[in-house]
Amino acid sequence: MKAFSQAQFLASSAGSADMPLPGPPEIAFAGRSNVGKSSAINALVGRKRLAFTSKTPGRTQTINFFELGDSARLVDLPGYGYAKVPQALRAQWRTLVGGYLASRETLVGVVLVMDARHPLTPLDAQLVEFLGDVRLLALLSKADKLTKAEQSGTLASVKASLRADVRLFSSETRQGVEDCRDLLEGWLSPSSRPRK
Ligand code: GTP
Ligand code: MG
């Protein structure tokens, strides 16, 4: 699909009141802080700095919407699980991200990004449970940090414990990028309807 190469920033939202009106189907990127959600979006759209990334966990604090022409949107969510985040901010995360995931009528699926070295933490499992039957792709990010043997082991164990598509991914080496783009394009095809 040409759309992935036409990505543009649409809006940044700090609360339900300032979210862009629902439009084309949306694919949201969720996961712990610092696992590479924003980097994955950049890799998928072939841009270096469309979504802001950082070495410091907690870079993304707002929900950021990117449009792929007028056919779809990618949604970069703030990460969870960063130990230093104060309690008040965690509650804010739940309201903001939980609210979006629970009620966005144009959401067609969630990409759960997990560091391939530490997949399926308790918070990831909680999110999977919260999502219920929302379509899910698990990206095992930073795969470049693992040997081939470690990659196979992680892939097999996550596949065994998740009812979802699972892919190894690296924004650095671009491993898995084409494959994931194809998979997500499938979610956006006309026969894939939003859940409501
Ligand atoms: P928050 O917005 O804080 O939730 O983080 P995020 O999940 O959006 O992570 P981000 O994309 O900002 O990346 C965090 C750090 O990991 C940055 O220093 C990236 O350069 C690095 N990183 C991201 N993806 C990869 C990857 O595939 N391989 C390697 N080696 N580093 C990566
Ligand atoms: Mg981010």
Cβ atoms of 189 and 151 within 8 Å: the answer is: no
Any ligand 1 atom below 6 A from CB of 57: yes
Distances, alpha carbon 190 to alpha carbons 25, 186, 193, in Å: 10, 9, 7
Pick 3-189's CATH classification: 3.40.50.300, 3.30.70.260, 3.40.1160.10, 3.50.30.10: 3.40.50.300
What is the model's pLDDT at position 192? 65
pLDDT under 50: residue ranges of the chain: none
Atom in ligand 1 nearest the alpha carbon of residue 60 = 2
Q: Which residue has the tokens 């995360």?
A: 93
| Spatial contact of 111 and 167, defined as CB atoms under 8 Å apart | no
What pLDDT does residue 152 have?
98
Q: Does the beta carbon of 142 lie inside 6 Å of ligand 1? A: yes
User: Would you state the pLDDT for residue 194?
Assistant: 55
3-state secondary structure of 38: helix
CA of 56 to the centre of ligand 2 (A): 10
Domain residue ranges of the chain, discontinuous segments joined by +: 3-189
| Per-residue pLDDT reduced to its tens digit, 106-151 | 999 999 999 999 999 999 999 999 999 999 999 999 999 999 999 9
pLDDT of residue 54: 86
How far is residue 105 CA from its own chain's centroid?
Answer: 17
What is residue 87's predicted lDDT score, i.e. its pLDDT? 76
Query: Is the CB of 35 inside a 6 Å radius of any atom of ligand 1?
Result: yes
Give residue 193 CA to ligand 1 midpoint distance, Å.
31
Beta bridge partners of 154: none
Q: Which string of b and e fits 147-175 if b means at least 16 CB within 10 Å? A: eeeebeebbeebeeebebbbbbbbbeeeb
pLDDT at 82: 78
SS3 113: strand
SS3 (DSSP) at 128: helix
